[in-house]
Structure 1
Amino acid sequence: MILGVMLSGLFALILMGVPIAVALGLVAVGAIWYSDGFDALVNVALVMYDGATKFPLLAIPMFVLAGAIMNASGISRRLIAFASALLGFIRGGLAMINIGVSMFFAEISGSAVADVAATGSILIPAMKKRGYPKAFAAAVTSSSASLAIIIPPSIPMILYGVMADASIVQLFVAGIVPGVLGGFSLMLISYLLARHYGWPVEEIFNLRRVWVTFKEALAALFLPIIILGSIFGGVVTATEGAGLAVVAALFIGGVIYRDLNLSFLRAALLDGAMQTAVVMLLVAASALVGVYLTEQQLPQQLAQWVLSITDNPVAILAMMNVFFLIIGLFLHSAAAIILVVPVVVPLISLVGIDPVHFGLIVCLNLAIGQQTPPVASVLITACSIARANVWEVSKANIWFIGVLLAVLMLVTYVPAVPMTLVEWLYR
Structure 2
Amino acid sequence: MTLLYMAAGLFGLVLINVPIAVALGVVSVIAMLLSSGTATLPNMAMVLYDGATSFPLLAIPLFIFAGAIMNSAGISRRLIAFASALVGFVRGGLAMVNVATSLFFAEISGSAVADVAAIGSILIPAMKKRGYPATFAAAITSSAATLAVIIPPSIPMILYAVMSGSSVVQLFVAGIVPGLLGAAGLMGLAYGFAVRRNYPVEEMFRVSRVKETFREAVWAFSMPIIILGGIFGGWFTATEGAALAVVAALFLGTVVYRELDLPHLYDAILEGGIQTAVVMLLVATSALMGTYLTEQQVPQQLAQAVADFTNNKYVVLALLNVIFLLAGLFLHSAAAIILIVPIVMPLVNLVGIDPVHFGIIVTLNLGIGQQTPPVASVLVTACSIAKADIWAVSKVNVYFIGVLMAVLLLSTYVPIVPMGLVELFYR
TM-score range, shorter chain: over 0.9
Q: Which runs of 4+ in 1 moved over 2 A?
A: none
Could you give the per-residue CA deviations for residues 273-307 of structure 1, whole angstroms, max 9, x where no partner exists? 10110000000001111110100000000001101
* Range with bigger deviation, 160-169 or 201-210: 201-210
Alignment of structure 1 residues 92-131 onto 2, 5 Å: 92-131=92-131
Q: Distance in 2 between matches of 1:102 and 1:401?
A: 16
Residues 255-290 of structure 1, C-alpha deviation per residue, up to 9 Å, x if partnerless? 112221331232232122101100000000011111
Q: Residue 141 of structure 1: CA displacement?
A: 0.6
Structure 1 counterpart of 2:41, one-letter code: L
Query: Once the 2 structures are TM-superposed, how far is the Cα of residue 20 of structure 1 from its aligned partner?
Result: 0.4
With normalisation by structure 1, the TM-score equals: 0.99
CA distance in 1, matches of 2:90, 2:217: 21
Other-structure match for 1:306: 306
Q: Counterpart in 2 of 1:383?
A: 383
> Quick one: distance in 2 between partners of 1:293 and 1:199?
54
Q: Is the 8 A contact 1:99 1:141 kept in 2?
A: yes
What amino acid maps onto 1:88 in structure 2?
G
Deviation at 1:41, TM superposition (A): 1.8
Q: Distance in 1 between matches of 2:337 and 2:41?
A: 25
Equivalent in the alignment of 1:234: 234
Q: CA RMSD in A?
A: 0.7
* Residue 322 of structure 1: aligned partner: 322
User: What whole-Å deviation, never above 9, does each CA across 1:373-416 have from its counterpart, x for those lacking one?
Assistant: 00000000111111110100111101100000000000000000
For 1:17, the equivalent position in structure 2 comes to: 17
Please state if 1:160 is matched with 2:160.
yes
- Per-residue Cα deviation, 1:179-206 (whole angstroms, up to 9, x for no partner): 0000011000000000000000001111
CA distance in 1, matches of 2:96, 2:67: 21
Q: Aligned ranges for residues 271-282 of structure 1 at < 5 Å?
A: 271-282=271-282
Task: Tell me the equivalent position of 1:3.
Answer: 3
Aligned to 1:419: 419
Q: Would you say the 8 A contact 2:116–2:142 is kept in 1?
A: yes
Q: Does 1:76 align with 2:56?
A: no
1: CA distance, partners of 2:152 / 2:335: 20
List runs of 5+ in structure 1 lacking aligned partners: none
> Where in structure 2 are the equivalents of 1:25-424 lying within 5 Å?
25-424=25-424
- Tell me, in whole angstroms, the C-alpha distance in 1 between the residues paired with 2:123 and 2:367: 21
Does the Cα contact within 8 Å between 1:72 and 1:262 map onto a contact in 2?
no
After superposition, give the CA deviation of every residue in 1:152-207 in whole Å (9 maximum; x if it has no partner): 00000000000000000000000000000000110000000000000000011111
Q: Which amino acid aligns with 2:286?
A: S
C-alpha distance in structure 2 between counterparts of 1:392 and 1:96, whole Å: 21
CA distance in 1, matches of 2:39, 2:358: 38
Which deviations, in whole Å up to 9, do the C-alpha atoms of 1:2-55 show, x marking residues without a partner?
A: 100000110110110000000000010011011111221221111000000000
8 A contact 1:89–1:204 mirrored in 2: yes
* SS across alignment from 1:137: helix
Paired AA for residue 50 in structure 2: D
Residues of 2 paired with 1:71 and 1:348: CA distance?
38
For the residue of structure 1 that corresponds to 2:201, the secondary structure is coil
Output the amino acid matched with 1:399.
Answer: Y
Taking the aligned partners of 1:401 and 1:23, their CA distance within structure 2 comes to 31
Letter in 1 for 2:3: L
CA distance in structure 2 between the partners assigned to 1:367 and 1:214 by the alignment? 30
Instruction: Show CA shifts across 1:312-332 (max 9, x none).
Output: 001000000011100110000
Confirm or deny: 8 A CA contact 2:170 2:426 kept in the other structure. Answer: yes
- The one-letter amino acid of 2:6's match is M
Count of aligned pairs: 427
Percent identity over paired residues: 69
SS at match of 1:397: helix
The code of the aligned residue for 2:138 comes to: A
Contact 1:152/1:173 (8 A) holds in 2 = yes
Decide whether the 8 Å contact of 1:63 with 1:246 is kept in 2: yes
Distance between the aligned counterparts of 2:48 and 2:100, measured in 1? 39
C-alpha separation in 1, matches of 2:261 and 2:381: 23
Amino acid across the alignment from 1:173 = V
1:34-83 alpha-carbon deviations (Å, 9 max, x no partner): 11112212211110000000000000000001101111111111111111
Q: Is the CA contact (8 Å cut-off) linking 2:68 and 2:271 kept in structure 1?
A: no
Cα shift readout 1:95-114 (whole Å, capped 9, x = no counterpart): 00011111111100100000
Residues 66 and 245 in structure 1, CA contact (< 8 A), matched pair in contact too:
yes
Q: Quick one: distance in 2 between partners of 1:378 and 1:401?
A: 13
Identify which range, 153-162 or 66-75, moves more after superposition: 66-75
- Contact kept? 2:67, 2:109, Cα under 8 Å: yes
CA contact (8 A) 2:282 2:335 kept: yes
AA at the equivalent of 2:387: R
1:320-374 Cα offsets, whole Å, 9 max, x none, are 0011100110000000000000000000001110000000000000000000000
Gaps of 5+ in 2: none
